[in-house]
A and B are shown apart, each in its own frame.
Chain A
Amino acid sequence: MRDGARAILPLSIGAFPFGLAYGVTVVESSMNDFVGWLASFIVLAGAAQLAVSDLIDQGAPWFIVVGTALVINARFMMYSGALAPSFSEFPRRWRIPLAHFMTDQATVTSLLYDRTERQPAKRLAYYLGAGASFALSWWIGTTIGVVIGATIPAQLQVGFAAPLMFIALAVPSIGDRAALIAAAVGFSVTLMAKDAPMNSGLLIGAAAGIAFGMLAKTRASATSVVDLAEGESDVRDDS
């Protein structure tokens, strides 16, 4: 557990100002302060929580607020699939409580660890250590943000912690050409789809990124088959 907590520590440190920024946003919005604070514990997803408080503040109807948050969080279904091979070794009754700690940060950190560690007990401890310690920092940040609210000076730029944390996660997740294409397409299509209904731009961007990345992978393996047929021996599949 300590290994997971240690690996995620820089991100946990980043979760604190991000939580602080979210707490301040809640206090400044028309959203109920207690409910906004509670969301950090039961939703545990910064991007979606920010969207919820923003949309409530804008007076959006409830189904738009819920729909947007769930669209943003649909990525967890994909993370859930990525973590499924590890979770299949975990005790059944643990799977749902553990799934609650599935943040972007804990998922990426654990997937990197699982590449080299095969032992289920170690994987579980690592995931729990990373997930719980990260969540703790988010909770502390949110609580302080809600309590001290708008007294944080704007010069501290706590809001920048959000994009910064996503940059710190996105860059190391690019391991090969296909991943680079997925990231580039995901990035540009999200921007192009910014006016898509119900804030669905991110989901459209992600789907496009995955599709183009798959295309690159398929082409790469097709090329290596052709090269093999031509008698090349030094061909390496980059997948």
Chain B
Amino acid sequence: MTADLAIVLVVAAGTLAMRASMVTLLADVTISPRVEQALSLVAPAVLAGLVAQTLFLDGDGFRPIGSWYLAGAIAAVVAWRTRSFGWTLLAGMASVWLLEVLT
């Protein structure tokens, strides 16, 4: 309990420090166009990495081919065509349930 609590408190403090870092330090500084360009690429790069990590990896290895991959692909197509969070989540969850029932 105490060890776990200490870990979570340190992670919480570090995370808040990183979240607050640029908005407090950089807030009164004008950002160069080049830095702004790099920052605009953060979301696609990090989010695609998170997709890779949560969808394709499971523990130390690759997730075995199965319903998650197919449902993920369907969700990606729906996200691309509709650009809607709601339809994407609906399509993804419906696909994964359907595939579970079918297989």
A contact residues vs B (CB 8 Å cutoff): 8-11, 13-14, 17, 31-32, 34-36, 38-39, 42-45, 47-48, 52, 56, 62, 65-66, 69-70, 73-85, 87-88, 95-96, 98-100, 102, 104, 107-108, 111, 155-157, 160-174, 178-180, 182-191, 194-195, 201-202, 205-210, 213-214, 217, 239
Interface residues of B (CB under 8 A from A): 1, 3-12, 14-16, 18-24, 26-28, 31, 35, 37-57, 60, 67-68, 71-72, 75-76, 79-80, 83-86, 88-89, 92-93, 96-97, 100
Q: Decide: B14 and A66 in contact? CB cutoff 8 A.
A: yes
**Which of A66, A74, A166 is B11 in contact with, Cβ under 8 Å?**
A66
In the complex, what distance in Å separates the CA atom of A179 from the CA atom of B42? Answer: 9
Q: Is there contact, CB below 8 Å, between B51 and A214?
A: no
A188: shortest Cβ distance to chain B, in Å?
8
Task: Check if A104 sits within 8 Å of B22, measured CB to CB.
Answer: no
Closest A residue by C-beta to B20? A99
Q: Is the CB of B1 within 8 A of A187?
A: no
- Smallest beta-carbon distance B85→chain A, Å: 4
Task: Please state if A108 and B18 are interface contacts (CB–CB under 8 Å).
Answer: no
Assembled-state Cα–Cα distance A96/B1 (Å): 28
Contact A162 B54, CB 8 Å, known A39-B11, A107-B43: yes
A175 → chain B, closest Cβ, in Å?
Answer: 8
Let me know if B49 and A190 touch, CB within 8 A.
yes
Q: Beyond A80-B20, A191-B57, list 16 extra A-B contacts (CB 8 Å).
A: A8-B85, A9-B86, A35-B8, A36-B8, A52-B7, A99-B16, A99-B23, A163-B68, A164-B96, A167-B72, A167-B76, A186-B45, A186-B52, A187-B52, A209-B41, A213-B44
For the residues of B in contact with A, the DSSP-based class is helix
In whole angstroms, what is the CA distance A19 to B57 when docked? 20
7 sample A-B contacts, Cβ–Cβ < 8 Å, listed by A number: A96-B16, A166-B47, A166-B54, A169-B43, A170-B44, A182-B44, A213-B41
With A75-B42, A170-B50, A201-B53: A38-B26 Cβ-Cβ less than 8 Å:
no
Contact of A10 among B10, B21, B86 (CB under 8 A): B86
Query: With A and B bound together, what is the CA distance between A35 and B45 in angstroms?
Result: 31
Contact of B39 among A82, A188, A189, A194 (CB under 8 A): A82
Set of chain B residues within 8 Å of A184, measured between Cβ atoms? 48
| Chain B: CB-nearest residue to A165 | B89
B47 lies within 8 A of A205 (CB): no
Looking at the assembled complex, report how far the CB atom of B32 sits from the nearest CB atom of chain A, in whole angstroms.
12
Q: How far is the CA of A226 from the CA of B62 in the complex (A)?
A: 45
Query: Is B53's CB under 8 angstroms from A169's CB?
Result: no
Neighbouring B residues of A170 by C-beta, 8 Å: 43-44, 47-48, 50-51, 79
**In whole angstroms, what is the CA distance A56 to B49 when docked?**
23
* Contact among B14, B43, B52 with A82 in the assembled complex (CB-CB below 8 Å): B43
Q: Please indicate the chain B residues that have their CB under 8 angstroms from the CB of A155 in the complex.
A: 97, 100
Q: Could you tell me if A32 and B4 are in contact, using CB atoms closer than 8 angstroms?
A: yes
Given known pairs A13-B89, A62-B3, the reply for A187 and B16 (CB within 8 Å) is no
